[in-house]
A and B are shown apart, each in its own frame.
Chain A
Amino acid sequence: MTTPDEDMLITGAGTAIRGVAGPAGLLRPAVPEASADPTASLTGRGLRYKDRATKLALCAGRDALADAGLLLDPGLAVPGESVGVVVSSNYGNLDTVCDTVSAIAAHDYTATSPMALPGTASNVTASWVAITYGLRGVNLTLCNGATSGLDAVSWARVMVRAGRVRHMLVIGVEPANPVVAELVGPTFDGAAALVLESAETARERGATAMARLGRHARRETHARAVGDVLGGLLDDRVDLWCRPETAPGDRVESAEEQDLTALLGPASGALGVVQCVTGAAWLRERAGGTVLATTQGADAAAATVLTGAGAAL
């Protein structure tokens, strides 16, 4: 409420995508086929009853918090109450839910495992991220269709502006598993995460910014969303456009275009966050420019602008 839009910064990012070595890896033209599962880096007890989306989110979230200087060894560098998390996923724990449905249909409720059942809760991934890293601030789970990832980034900004937290961890995650494959076909398998905070907060703790979060719009059509975020902005010039999963009727004129769906597969609720992490990495490498991320679904389209952090701090 009190912080202007232009003062919201991305100060850290992380990925958990097979073959992608961190956020900068999203700028490469192809992903190596043979590579390690990023969740192999997780250790400790309790992994057996965590679904794949949760494991991926834990990896990407950990790396984003560390990149932002918020997660040190052994724990958070700031009070847990000041850090929130919002997770965007449309298929997150669908495997656990559907396995439960199948078990009940084939037998009865006694065929289900009491250890696994808490994993049917819709907010299981955000909960585990909070429990694992001690995040006691805002804890949100959004399942909002194709625009969900960009919506999550936007709501993270609202949470910081509203003064609910000082730092927001945004995670977009989708798991590839037989349940999701049967439902929608082959999909993205991974997670991306970023840390959002105000310029004032970042300055106070000496954080380095990757990018500045600009305007966001969620509208009925792609053209309206894009028009509303670009109107009057730098003569509408876009240096990098991270385009939606499906081709919009209206194209965006840009110097470069990144089709993350072609690179990684359909990322559904994770796409918007993957786009913002890609854009932030692109801006960090080039020390400036304008990135436009857009997503669209049957019900709505969303657009978000990122610009170079410049002299933000």
Chain B
Amino acid sequence: MTDVLVTGVGAVTCQGYGAAALSAAMTAAAPPVPQRLTDTPAVMRHPLIHRVPGVASGAVALAASAVGEALDDAGLELRPDLRAGVVLGSCLGEAGPDGSPDFQVASAVGRLLGAFGANISVSNACAAGGFALCLAADLIRTGDADVVITGGADAYSRVGWASFDRLGAVDPVRCRPFDRDRQGTILAEGTGILVLESAEHAHRRGAEAYAKLTGSGWSCDAHHLTAPEPSGEQIIRGMREALAGDEPGCVIPHGTGTVLNDLVESQALRAVLGTAADRVPLYSAKALLGHTGGASAAIGAVMACLILRDGAVPANVPLDEQDPRCEVYLPVDAPVPLPVPRVLVNAYAFGGANASFVLEAA
């Protein structure tokens, strides 16, 4: 089977521009302070957001910025003869001036890059970035591309923010996954981009790799439009398929801060890891960045690459008190060594669409 390598990463989050800013924020582990929205027509109960600093821009502009960084990082130039694709996920798409979305983010980024091959926009809600990453790997493994620019991007959308607010899914304090008092999530802007390459292509040009994408598992709850299936049967299946019997050294959970989702994911992790759940560290990305929607799993993948590079799992943003029903290990005092160079990333979405994938040291 063709190995799929990550040879470049890029990110833009509320913590700043670039993977270096993300890495610094992971080290600092300071909880971000949500801003108040100033979109006048959208009167909300909890008008909170984690914005990308600087001038407001849409999903395409965010993605384009991180694509440039990732390509530079990979030392790769997209030549016309390169068999390349662009596979990007977005939950909310590129919001137009009236708030209506245009989901063709990959097409727009492909046009900017002059890449017109197997470009695809994946619209799998909050798991879109995870699905995009796996699709990109499939494209390389089936021999249809040598290089794929992949990831996810989401920016402020009046409909997205208002919907979460109206559904009572916003935490008025902060995004605090697995906390006893969590009340929901806080949506955020952001993008995570990865350059995936076939090992053969990367080796031929002497590229260094952050990680190897070794496994992925997809499933669908087929249960409810917004709620997870309580037994977690399908997310367990996805994780087991991705891990293929191996134990991870770290898990970046979907962990949004909503009461039921965190509980079901915790229980599913215990089912998959058994007693190892007591010692396999979780890195709770959304506590640091908020919920970046369709970008979240892609940013999780970038974080996984940084964790593999550094050989350590950063301390999590401190919790007030961990929910005793969420029996997972969240180190908060200090970084812990990565016991095994293998990181599992989970991505879940409305409709019960689940994607789990594993990155290992290359």
Contact = CB atoms under 8 A, between A and B. Distances in A.
Interface in B122-145: 122-125, 128, 131, 135, 138-139, 141-142, 144
Contacts of A218: 116-119
Contacts of B116: 218-220, 299-300
Interface residues of B, number: 63
A151 to B, nearest CB: 6
A159 B112 CA distance: 28
Contacts of A80: 222
A118 B226 contact: yes
Contacts of A90: 103-104
A136 B124 contact: no
Given A121-B351, A299-B116, A141 B124 contact: yes
B335 to A, nearest CB: 35
B225 A104 contact: no
Contacts of B44: 108-109
A100 interface: yes
B101 interface: yes
Nearest to B96: A101
A25 B12 CA distance: 50
Contacts of B43: 104, 108-110
A84 B353 CA distance: 11
Interface string B156-171: 0011101101111000
A101 B100 contact: yes
A220 B86 CA distance: 13
A177 B351 CA distance: 24
Contacts of B223: 131
A144 B351 contact: no
A127 B225 contact: yes
Interface in B278-328: none
A299 B60 CA distance: 15
A263 interface: no
Nearest to B87: A155
Contacts of A300: 107, 110, 116, 119
B201 interface: no
A101 B119 contact: no
Nearest to B354: A139
A139 B351 CA distance: 9
B162 to A, nearest CB: 5
Nearest to B90: A122
Contact of A100 (B111, B131, B159): B159
A99 to B, nearest CB: 10
A240 interface: no
A164 B218 contact: yes
A123 B353 contact: yes
Contacts of B42: 104, 108-109
Contacts of B351: 121, 123-124, 126-128, 130-131, 139
A120 B100 CA distance: 11
A109 B222 contact: no
Given A136-B220, A299-B111, A101 B122 contact: no
Interface residues of A, number: 56
A140 B124 contact: yes
Contacts of A193: none
A142 B121 CA distance: 6
B41 interface: yes
A112 interface: yes
Given A118-B226, A123-B350, A299-B107, A138 B220 contact: yes
Contact of A142 (B123, B219, B222): B123
Given A121-B125, A131-B224, A144-B106, A104 B158 contact: yes
Interface string A80-97: 110010000010001001
B91 interface: yes
A253 B138 CA distance: 34
A137 interface: yes
Interface string B215-231: 00011111111100000
B1 A121 contact: no
B120 A114 contact: no
A40 interface: no
Interface string A138-169: 11111111000001001100110110100000
Nearest to B161: A109
Given A114-B166, A218-B119, A139 B100 contact: no
Interface of A: 1, 80-81, 84, 90, 94, 97-98, 100-101, 104-105, 108-110, 112, 114, 117-124, 126-128, 130-131, 133-145, 151, 154-155, 158-159, 161-162, 164, 218-220, 299-300
Interface of B: 1, 41-45, 90-93, 98-101, 103-104, 106-107, 110-111, 116-125, 128, 131, 135, 138-139, 141-142, 144, 158-160, 162-163, 165-168, 218-226, 234, 237, 349-353
20 contacts: A104-B158, A104-B159, A109-B44, A117-B163, A120-B163, A121-B350, A122-B128, A127-B352, A127-B353, A130-B352, A131-B351, A136-B219, A143-B103, A144-B121, A151-B120, A158-B138, A162-B138, A218-B116, A299-B104, A299-B110
Given A126-B124, A158-B139, 14 more contacts: A98-B98, A108-B41, A112-B166, A118-B350, A127-B353, A133-B222, A135-B222, A139-B353, A143-B93, A143-B103, A155-B120, A158-B142, A159-B138, A162-B138
